[in-house]
Amino acid sequence: RDSQEANIKFLSGWNQWKRTSHKSWRKILDEAKEVFSYLELWRHDIHSIEGKFGTGIQSYFSFLRFLVLLNFVIFILMFSFVTLPSVISKYGIFNSSFAKIPASRIEPHCTVYSPSGNKGLVYFYAYLKDLLTGTGFLEVTSLFYGYYTIDAAWISMFRYNLPLAYLLTTFAYLGLSLLWIIKRSVEGFKQNLVHAEDQFQSYCNKVFAGWDFCITDLSAARLKHRSLQYELKTDLEEERLKQKIADRTMKDKLRIYSLRLFLNIIVLAVLSGCFYSIYRATVFSQENSSSNGDNIKFEANLLVQYLPSIVITLANFIAPQIFSLLIRLEDYSPAFEIRLTLLRCVFVRLANIGVLLFSLWSQISSCATDKCNACGYNYELYPCWESEVGQEMYKLLIFDFIIILAVTLFVDFPRKLLVTHCSCKLIQWCGLQEFGISDNVLEIIYGQTICWIGTFYSPLLPAIATIKYFIVFYIKKISLIHTRKPSARPIRASSSNFFFLVVLLIGLLLAFVPVGVSIAYIPSSKACGPFRNFNTSWAVVPDTILGFPTDLQKVLYGIASEAFAVPFFMVVCIVMFYFIALAGAHKRVVEQLREQL
């Protein structure tokens, strides 16, 4: 420092000012960063959980916070570019107006849509049913696709193309989710790479560089102590398992592999049972439910109508419990246990959504008459099929939240009271339920996949998901502290965080499929929504391009042609191979540095 201050005397006035201003700017940025860190959502709660229960459970709550922020940003996107312009133009705010283009070349019977809104005297239970199912008064609100019927909004002198904005905002929220997840995955992959290379280096990092010397508070120091203890427990547990695997005889290997084969057959049987149950429930519901329903058998009809959602929720609840019991017998490491259980549960939960959507789309596209073929979809059962799909996604999201709340209130709390106040040997042997990270992560990934799929059909669904996950954070925190116990086998946060994001990415890629098929393949409803004057939702893009100048049209069509796509693909491949070679060179340098260390 003395040497640098001595050198400053020989610098010019301009350079001295640059150096001083640079130091001042860095100081301002550091202070601002520190202030903003205190504004971070649930900062104190997550640090407290990390110290008491380890970084594995802390990674789950950090993941939950990430989904709250992601859904909030998606809600801001959909509200700003879709909902707000529609509401402003419909109510004439800011001297605005809207335009509806009359349907042309569309059969009149295709444009009939009478939402089942509540009329006259309505009982309280009818409102409750509407809140749970998205029907009635909710069907005609901005929550669902059918509300957005305007073709253009005039705000002052500005013309706002709502169909194009609706489609581009859908692409934007899916693209934003993809980029955000990839960015976080890369950070987790770097940490995972460091921890996965050498166990000895992991010990060295914790012993010599694990302490945070910024800590001055006694309680914060205790939290850090506990966090390091859990990390060391994880390392020791994995070392013990590695030693156990190395000491296995041929007889032990044969026994464990035979046991794993048998348990995987049971897993396949459970998966088959779940899929078949959902299929039968869906078929039964479609054959026996009636949208009107008899007044005498109202409750029974309601149960049949929502039977698929109930069966899906039960399958999502029961199957992970079975997988959690089976995985303990397979003798894997704690990190691999979470990964394998997550993969098994992913097939159950995400395939359940696929079965439901497939059954809905087969019903939507089934046409037996010429009138139906003229519309392109089953207009009698589904006059506004996008809103129907949105209601199914809404129901799944609501039912998922109800199950999370019900399990905490009616399973975890009574079990805690029994274990605490009852001395029965059987109850004491069962003990408290462990806080299973894989089950809880799958719960929120399943809900997030529903939100991604449903946002196209229900633009305000991300707002409901944001509120849901905000409440779920406190439910899970109370459950962890008061009614459950941390896992007896701690896990490392770095590998778990990365794998959570990989599974979330699988859910996002699954969401691309139904949304993409709806946009590009299935004919849009002719009685509701912003795309009622187009054959499909995607048709708004070429229609908009036709309004551009001729030269710009030629450029855009050229970009979309094979003449541009093939060279572009080759350039991307060359760039990709360059980065692969660069990564290989960096890896060799890292290995040399490891040897020197």
Domain count, the chain: 2
Q: How many CA atoms lie within 13 A of 538 on its CB side?
A: 9
The residue ranking higher by pLDDT, 185 or 117, is 185
Least confident of 13-22, 128-137, 196-205: 196-205
Say if 34 falls within a structural domain: no
DSSP 559-578: HTSHHHHHHHHHHHHHHHHH
User: For 321-368, how does the pLDDT look when each residue is reduced to its tens digit (9 = 90+)?
Assistant: 888 888 888 877 766 777 777 777 777 888 888 888 887 787 787 777
pLDDT of residue 460: 92
Least Cα distance to 460 among 145, 192, 169, 161 occurs for 145
Mean pLDDT of 571-591: 89
pLDDT of residue 466: 95
Residues 6+ apart with CB under 8 A from 87: 93, 142
**Residue 467 in this model has a pLDDT that exceeds 90:** yes
pLDDT of residue 287: 67
Strand partners, 154: 97, 159
pTM: 0.80
Residue 295's pLDDT band, with cuts at 50, 70 and 90, is very low
Residue 469's pLDDT band, with cuts at 50, 70 and 90, is very high
Residue 581's pLDDT band, with cuts at 50, 70 and 90, is very high
Q: How many CA atoms lie within 13 A of 421 on its CB side?
A: 6
Quick one: 592 and 476 in the same domain? no
Across the chain, mean pLDDT equals 80
**Residue 76 in this model has a pLDDT that exceeds 70:** yes
Say if 212 falls within a structural domain: no
Amino acid occupying residue 332: Y
**Residue 194 in this model has a pLDDT that exceeds 70:** no
Mean pLDDT of 217-230: 73
**Is the Cβ–Cβ distance between 544 and 164 less than 8 Å?**
yes
Tokens in use for 325? 């019991």
Quick one: 142 and 56 in the same domain? yes
Give, as one character, the DSSP assignment of residue 159.
Answer: E
pLDDT of residue 292: 47
**Residue 118 in this model has a pLDDT that exceeds 80:** no
Mean pLDDT of 163-191: 87
The residue ranking higher by pLDDT, 96 or 271, is 271
Amino acid occupying residue 572: V
* CB atoms closer than 10 angstroms to residue 273: 14
User: For 376-404, how does the pLDDT look when each residue is reduced to its tens digit (9 = 90+)?
Assistant: 787 777 788 888 888 888 988 988 898 88
Which percentage of the chain shows pLDDT scores above 70? 86
Quick one: 434 and 575 in the same domain? no
User: For 533-545, how does the pLDDT look when each residue is reduced to its tens digit (9 = 90+)?
Assistant: 888 888 888 888 8
Alpha helices in 408-460 (DSSP H): 413-421, 425-430, 437-454
Quick one: 437 and 566 in the same domain? no
Quick one: 463 and 566 in the same domain? no
pLDDT of residue 456: 92
**Residue 230 in this model has a pLDDT that exceeds 50:** yes
Residue 299's pLDDT band, with cuts at 50, 70 and 90, is low
Residue 474's pLDDT band, with cuts at 50, 70 and 90, is very high
Alpha helices in 306-436 (DSSP H): 307-327, 334-365, 370-375, 385-407, 413-421, 425-430
Quick one: 342 and 278 in the same domain? yes
pLDDT of residue 75: 95
Question: C-alpha 541: how far from its chain's center?
Answer: 28
Least Cα distance to 164 among 147, 148, 175 occurs for 148
Quick one: 425 and 573 in the same domain? no
Alpha helices in 107-246 (DSSP H): 124-133, 162-197, 199-209, 218-246
Say if 9 falls within a structural domain: no
Say if 494 falls within a structural domain: yes
* CB atoms closer than 10 angstroms to residue 350: 20
**Residue 83 in this model has a pLDDT that exceeds 70:** yes
Residue 296's pLDDT band, with cuts at 50, 70 and 90, is very low
Quick one: 185 and 260 in the same domain? yes
Mean pLDDT of 554-570: 83
pLDDT of residue 501: 84
pLDDT of residue 471: 93
Quick one: 300 and 332 in the same domain? yes
Say if 535 falls within a structural domain: yes
Residues 6+ apart with CB under 8 A from 501: 63, 181, 184, 185, 188
User: For 136-160, how does the pLDDT look when each residue is reduced to its tens digit (9 = 90+)?
Assistant: 788 888 888 888 888 777 777 777 8
Say if 5 falls within a structural domain: no
Distance CA 583, CA 388 (A): 48
pLDDT of residue 277: 84
**Is the Cβ–Cβ distance between 132 and 515 less than 8 Å?**
no
Distance CA 308, CA 392 (A): 10
Residue 556's pLDDT band, with cuts at 50, 70 and 90, is confident
pLDDT of residue 219: 66
Quick one: 164 and 278 in the same domain? yes
Quick one: 448 and 578 in the same domain? no
Quick one: 434 and 522 in the same domain? yes
pLDDT of residue 450: 92
Query: Which H or E element spans position 280?
Result: helix 250-288
pLDDT of residue 347: 78
Say if 69 falls within a structural domain: yes
pLDDT of residue 316: 79
**Residue 461 in this model has a pLDDT that exceeds 90:** yes
Mean pLDDT of 436-459: 87
The residue ranking higher by pLDDT, 122 or 250, is 250
User: For 30-75, how does the pLDDT look when each residue is reduced to its tens digit (9 = 90+)?
Assistant: 888 777 777 778 888 888 887 777 677 788 888 899 999 999 999 9
Say if 25 falls within a structural domain: no
Sheet of 152-155, strand order: 96-99, 152-155, 158-161
- Parent domain of 572: 561-596
